[in-house]
Chains A and B, each alone.
Chain A
């Protein structure tokens, strides 16, 4: 007759379910480091697993699936929000650092006034919105410095529009219609605008930003008329 060695006997009883609470905990810990035990347990799970087929099914309460869904939905929501924010912040920081020098140079060559402090400010006061089309390459970057009350919009790398222009919009449910923040076209082009602390800044911080394609000279109606290609919201750049 086949005899079970110590490991096999322990594995078999663990799977069978006859061990005491302490023994179960010990085996559960030990299998994590004892590969032979872990394999033996797996083998017994397969040997005895078919017994489950002889158990009569019992229909679960109708709301059980919703409870499970809620548990999953909740944790997913938390994870996805957190990881998306972290990914955006990393990207925003990367682009901000890469473009702080390059755009300053480009802008100064173009004779545009550069608010350096607004581009590379104190970390805790810096907010960034990466306006993209869901891809990894930001088209526009919008930074807000709540210390200097300055907003800078940079056209990072939008696809070239021949006889059209990009127009940047702020969208908020607190406003009857989107507000134009200006028109931009050339990669590296940037616009800086001072803001007022208080309600204006608060509105700005909670708004969404969008970039549409408009005729040269801007939207004729004062609201976006062309396709909205890029969108984004402000997040803290350096948590």
Chain B
């Protein structure tokens, strides 16, 4: 079972019923986090805001499809944002450039200490499992998931053939899966 989030679940069910106030509250509660997700992948605020706009439009239209036994609300919404952002990134072939000044503030400090305290148990478990990977492999998973790097981009970044990256990825993911199932 995915972690429960009664507040966001209620808001989503309100949105499914066409409740505009619930939609406004849902936006308030999640937009900053989701924009953070989109900007990390797209490296461009304007583009990321466009993706966020489309994603919230989709949330408004599809809230009725949300099923709390399949995903937590934030995972469901983040998946919509990530898929849109990744499609856009692949379409435009966004690669990490030498100039990352725009992202310095975003990518530097990992997160606020208070946020770390408030992290849910499932986050802790995933991070523990990630820590079980070799540092380079852990970095690859994070760069792929959070920054949207493709196999090709990872190969260039780590100076390895794409086949090697693929093997590393599959091994790391299998280890993660096994660790999370313990």
Contacts and interface: CB of A to CB of B under 8 A. Distances in A.
Interface of A: 1-4, 8-9, 12-13, 15-21, 24, 42, 45-61, 64-65, 67-69, 71-72, 76
Given A18-B154, A48-B126, A64 B178 contact: no
Contact of B53 (A47, A48, A55, A71): A71
A122 to B, nearest CB: 39
Contact of B141 (A2, A16, A50, A71): A16
Given A50-B123, A58-B35, 9 more contacts: A12-B173, A16-B145, A18-B144, A18-B165, A19-B150, A48-B126, A50-B127, A54-B110, A57-B33
Contacts of B32: 57-60
B6 interface: no
A59 to B, nearest CB: 5
Given A2-B175, A3-B174, A18-B154, A55 B31 contact: no
B146 A1 contact: no
A87 B78 CA distance: 37
Contacts of B111: 54-56
27 contacts: A2-B178, A12-B169, A12-B170, A13-B166, A13-B169, A16-B144, A17-B150, A18-B150, A18-B169, A19-B151, A45-B71, A45-B75, A48-B126, A49-B71, A49-B78, A50-B75, A51-B145, A54-B111, A54-B127, A55-B37, A56-B111, A58-B35, A58-B39, A60-B32, A60-B35, A65-B27, A68-B56
Q: Which 8 pairs, one residue from A and one from B, show the smallest C-beta to C-beta distance?
A: A57-B32, A49-B75, A21-B90, A2-B178, A50-B123, A12-B173, A55-B36, A50-B126
B12 interface: no
A9 B72 contact: no
Contacts of B126: 47-48, 50-51
Contacts of A19: 150-151
B123 A4 contact: no
B144 A46 contact: no
A56 B174 contact: no
Nearest to B177: A2
A9 B52 contact: no
A68 B27 contact: yes
A67 B152 contact: no
A42 B90 contact: no
A123 to B, nearest CB: 34
Contact of B109 (A20, A56, A69): A56
B170 A4 contact: yes
A49 B72 contact: yes
B156 interface: no
B36 A57 contact: yes
Contacts of B33: 52, 55, 57
B122 A50 contact: yes
Contact of B173 (A4, A52, A68, A69): A4
B3 to A, nearest CB: 8
B177 A67 contact: no
Nearest to B41: A17
A148 B93 CA distance: 65
A8 B20 CA distance: 39
A169 to B, nearest CB: 33
Contacts of B133: none
B9 interface: no
Nearest to B176: A47
Contacts of B48: 58
